[in-house]
Amino acid sequence: MWAMRRVLLLNASYEALGIISMPRAVRLVWKKSAEVVELDGSAILRSPTFSLPAPSVVRLKDYIDVRARQRRSASKRQAVLMRDKFRCQYCGVKGTSFELTLDHIIPRSRGGTTEPENLCASCFTCNQRKGDRTPDEARMPLISHPSALYYGLEKAALRGAAETRPEWRKYLFLPELEINVA
Ligand SMILES: [Zn+2]
């Protein structure tokens, strides 16, 4: 299923921002917000109105300063809650700052950071239910994707994904595969 295929999104600076869905990548290219820098083999996406070589890596034409967006916040907790409109990002329930907690989207035990891009508002029930799992593992997708959050959240997953997508590796600055020379 092409809709399920993932695409690596690069900043204008070629810095990897995250993994996005094929439909989203196609929309970015269609709007001329991004350009294709690597193709997904020789696959062609076809719809009744267009055909397009399937992208594997796309690059934004305008630079997004993810860090500057994060710096603007005075209090991280308050800023994250405000960004998420005081709404649990898993079930959508609204709450006050006493009724909501911050969830690490990628759990800390799995390499997730405490940066705002890896935090979201969560009710206590969802926070408990998700536990030590990623949203994918818990089958608890985020309901909205503020851009800094969206672009950052899957960084921790890039490494794993790159193992099956060799054409991504050069953009992730990954060390060469370790070869044990005994
Ligand atoms: Zn919830």
Which CATH number is 135's domain given? 1.10.30.50
Q: Is residue 178 part of a domain?
A: no
pLDDT at 55: 95
Q: Is residue 150 part of a domain?
A: no
Q: Are residues 120 and 160 in the same domain?
A: no
Q: Is residue 180 part of a domain?
A: no
Under 8 Å CB-to-CB from 81, ≥6 apart: which residues?
97, 100, 102, 121
70 Cα to the center of ligand 1, angstroms: 24
82 Cα to the center of ligand 1, angstroms: 16
Q: What is the residue-averaged pLDDT of the chain?
A: 80
102 Cα to the center of ligand 1, angstroms: 11
Q: Is residue 177 part of a domain?
A: no
87 Cα to the center of ligand 1, angstroms: 8
Q: Are residues 162 and 131 in the same domain?
A: no
Comparing 68-72, 86-90, 150-154, which segment has the lowest mean pLDDT?
A: 150-154
pLDDT at 147: 46
89 Cα to the center of ligand 1, angstroms: 7
Q: Are residues 78 and 129 in the same domain?
A: yes
- What's the CA angle centered on 28, arms 22 and 29, to 5 degrees? 90
120 Cα to the center of ligand 1, angstroms: 11
Q: Are residues 7 and 47 in the same domain?
A: yes
The yes-or-no verdict on residue 154 having pLDDT over 70 is: no
pLDDT band at 88 (very low <50, low <70, confident <90, very high): very high
Comparing 53-67, 115-129, 138-152, 161-175, which segment has the lowest mean pLDDT?
A: 138-152
Q: Are residues 55 and 88 in the same domain?
A: no
pLDDT band at 84 (very low <50, low <70, confident <90, very high): confident
Domain count, the chain: 2
The yes-or-no verdict on residue 182 having pLDDT over 80 is: no
Question: With b meaning 16 or more CB within 10 Å and e meaning fewer, what string describes 118-151?
Answer: bbbbbbeebbeebeeebbeeeebebeeebebbbb
Q: Is residue 48 part of a domain?
A: yes
CB 61 within 8 A of CB 12: yes
What residues make up the domain containing 36? 2-64+155-172
Find tokens 């959508």 and name the residue: 92
Q: Are residues 121 and 82 in the same domain?
A: yes
Q: Are residues 53 and 95 in the same domain?
A: no
